[in-house]
Amino acid sequence: MRIAFPHMGNAYIPLRALVESLGAEAVVPERPNAETLKRGLLHAPEFACLPFKVTLGDCLNALDRGADTLAMVCGMWACRFGNYGRVQHMILKDLGHEFDSVLIGRENVGEVAEKFRSGLGPGVFRRLPGALAIFRCKAAAVDEMERLARWARPREEKYGSTDALLFRYLDLLDGADSLRQVRELRGSFRDELLSRPLDGEDGVTRIRLVGELYVLLEPSLNCDLLRRLGSVFRVEAHPVLSTYRWLLGPLWLDPRIQLHGYRARRRTRPYLPYVLGGEEHMTISGILDARRQGFDGVIHAYPLTCMPENICRTVIPSITARTRLPHLGLCFDEHTSPAGVETRLEAFLDLVRDRRRIQTGGLGEQGDVMAGDVSAAAAAGGGRYPLCRSGAGG
Ligand code: SF4
């Protein structure tokens, strides 16, 4: 079996380990770029949400690379994501591509198991515990590395040094083939990152990031939001969602994820007494807790036609007005341009910092980011996520 799956942030690292430990070959397409989006746009329904279009382009790229099996999670959410896999695979088959579909959902576990057994032989179930162990270990390592990088970026002395280190270690992690190697890499990344000289805390702003999962986690789609916030705007960004949570939650490999989700649903019941199907409870609970957890503002990122997050948009202003927390809504579609996002971030962060300066009775000047600095730094950065460099449309 030559199995492919669409990109979402650095999820390809644990997913590749899982697939290869089961005895199959993992086909990882190139990172989404302007061409990927163009291919997805050509064949996707116009009204479909942006993640659908990008992941459809990803599937086409994977088929070009020789994938014979496309895997997709489906049927677990009430929003459109529940039908992504089925509809995408129908479109691809209509286009004449031949492949096996593995649609992973609650209702067809037996069917999926049978596909793997017939493709990889009966030994696949014997290899499963080891495969899940390395999958979990790599997911946790990616999670920790990303978390440390988000903390270090706004404090780095040399622009881009955190990302250079992060990308080097992510590549090493992708190639690691034992639990011991993964743990060693995790430790040496931590040591190397924390032993570097830092620029101090002056001007570092803490922002909570909420919104739709794919837009929050896929840098090619969100104009490299997390990296830009950290390295360009000196913002310590805290997304409420992570690849780790998305990968391990449905498999029940970490009970803390379920507990966290349960708490979020209970906390948001007065605002959303029902399930909308996306990450709406995490969005609302993330905003409700932001003031208490010391954040200076909130950024809400979502795709244009996203049903759960658009419902959240109607709730958020009343919460942020009551908690007196500045918030910015960033809507992404195929016409979103990096320059537009940057301008909004600049204006929003000016406001956040002014508020904080007033509240604290004056703060150092380092927090101010001038437009010239931003463009120069942004031009120097990027490189790994081509969609946001070339612009996604306009
Ligand atoms: S959460 Fe929103 S963007 Fe994501 S699949 Fe559902 S409707 Fe689409």
What pLDDT digit, counting tens, does each position of 213-223 carry? 999 999 989 99
Task: Single out the residue of 35, 83, 71, 36 nearest to residue 57, CA to CA.
Answer: 36
If one residue of 50, 87, 275, 307 were mutated to test the ligand 1 pocket, choosing by the most ligand atoms within 8 A of its CB, it would be: 307
Mean pLDDT of all residues belonging to the chain? 88
50 Cα–ligand 1 center, Å: 8
Number of neighbouring beta carbons within 10 Å of residue 38: 14
Q: Which of the two residues, 252 and 340, has the higher pLDDT score? A: 340
**How far is the first Cα of the chain from the last one, in angstroms, to the nearest whole number?**
39
Range with lowest mean pLDDT among 40-44, 288-292, 349-353, 363-367: 363-367
In three-state secondary structure terms, 26 is strand
Q: Which of 305, 349, 260 is nearest to 79 (CA)?
A: 305
Going from the Cα of 375 to the center of ligand 1, the distance in angstroms, rounded, reads 31
| Per-residue pLDDT tens digits for 133-192 | 999 999 999 999 999 999 999 999 989 999 999 999 999 999 999 999 999 999 999 999
Question: Side by side, which strands form the sheet with 205-211?
Answer: 235-239, 205-211, 297-303, 327-332
> Which ligand 1 atom is nearest residue 48's CA?
8
Q: Which atom of ligand 1 lies at the shortest distance from residue 278's CA?
A: 1
Regarding the beta carbon of 145 and ligand 1, being less than 6 Å apart is answered no
209: left (phi over 0), alpha (psi -120 to 50) or beta: beta
Report the distance separating Cα 341 and Cα 338, nearest Å: 5
Say if ligand 1 is within 6 A of residue 49 CB.
yes
- pLDDT the model gives residue 332: 95
Find out whether 31 and 239 touch, Cβ atoms under 8 Å.
Answer: no
Distance from the alpha carbon of residue 316 to the mean position of ligand 1, in angstroms: 18
pLDDT tens, position by position, 38-62: 999 999 999 899 999 999 999 999 9
128 pLDDT above the threshold of 50? yes
Torsion angle in degrees (nearest 10) through CA of 216, 218, 219, 221? -90
How distant, in Å, are the alpha carbons of 37, 247, 343, 385 from that of 392?
A: 8, 27, 16, 12
Burial of 279 (0-12, 13-18, 19+ CB in 10 A): buried
Confidence check: pLDDT of 314 > 70: yes
Residues 6+ apart with CB under 8 A from 5: 12, 15, 19, 62, 70, 71, 72
Q: Which residue lies with its CA nearest to atom 3 of ligand 1?
A: 306
Residue 73: its pLDDT value, please?
83
As a whole number, mean pLDDT of residues 7-32 equals 95
**Which residue ranges form the domains of the chain, and what is each CATH number?**
2-131 (3.40.50), 200-390 (3.40.50.11900)
Q: Is 41 in the pocket of ligand 1 (CB under 6 A)?
A: no
In whole angstroms, give the CA distance from residue 101 to residue 116: 11
Contact 85, 103 (CB under 8 A): yes
From 28-42, 70-84, 211-225, 312-326, the region with the lowest mean pLDDT: 70-84
Task: Identify the pLDDT of residue 76.
Answer: 58
Given a cut of 80, whether residue 290 has pLDDT beyond it is yes
Binned at pLDDT 50, 70 and 90, residue 81 comes out as confident
pTM above 0.75, yes or no: yes
- For residue 258, pLDDT beyond 50: yes
